[in-house]
Homo-oligomer: A and B are copies of this chain.
């Protein structure tokens, strides 16, 4: 399958998911959004599930390409920029519709090992990206030395899932979550202006050393 064909089908899948949601989606719906015929789709993919597995992989690749370089002079700035990308709060109809479709796919995941594998892979990559920013920030002295990069990555991935779920399920924009996470980074993670008021930054002691370490 040529790159162009893949892109065409994946773009069509995105539009069809926004239009029809996940549960009702058919190969015909996707073909209708594509320049390819339903026959061509079936030639490349056994069915909707196989196509959506490929779509999930495509989403991961797309996200990684989009965030390969994030702007920022320092690790903290790059983490802020990454959070902006992750909690992008586009409130237009297609963003809302797509979040709904993704939530349906997540809800389907316990019944579908292939979906679950892809979602777990995305989850891991997000966590690792965040953990890298945090580790870089700790190494640069920008974040507090006691911060656990991996645990912070885990936590922020949970926050990301929560923001997506609430946006779809109870119509809460991720905007406030994004603002809160930005404050969290500046206040709880930063070595200079937050996180551990009792820690004397000049001479970290063993006792203070354990405080922020999670």
Q: Which residues from chain A sit less than 8 Å from chain B, CB to CB?
A: 21, 23, 96, 100, 103-104, 106-107, 109-111, 116, 119-120, 123, 151, 154-155, 157-166, 168-172, 176-177, 179-180, 183-184, 187-188, 192-199, 201, 211-212, 214
Contacts and interface: CB of A to CB of B under 8 A. Distances in A.
B154 A176 contact: yes
Contact of A166 (B123, B177, B187): B123
Given A100-B107, A170-B119, A198-B201, A159 B157 contact: no
B187 A106 contact: no
B154 A180 contact: yes
Q: By CB atoms of chain B within 10 A, which of A103, A107, A187, A194 has the most?
A: A107
A162 B157 CA distance: 8
Given A163-B158, A177-B158, A187-B211, A107 B169 contact: yes
Nearest to A144: B197
B109 A106 contact: no
Given A161-B162, A180-B214, A187-B196, 15 more contacts: A23-B23, A100-B107, A103-B165, A107-B107, A116-B169, A154-B177, A154-B180, A158-B172, A159-B159, A159-B162, A161-B161, A188-B195, A193-B196, A197-B199, A198-B201
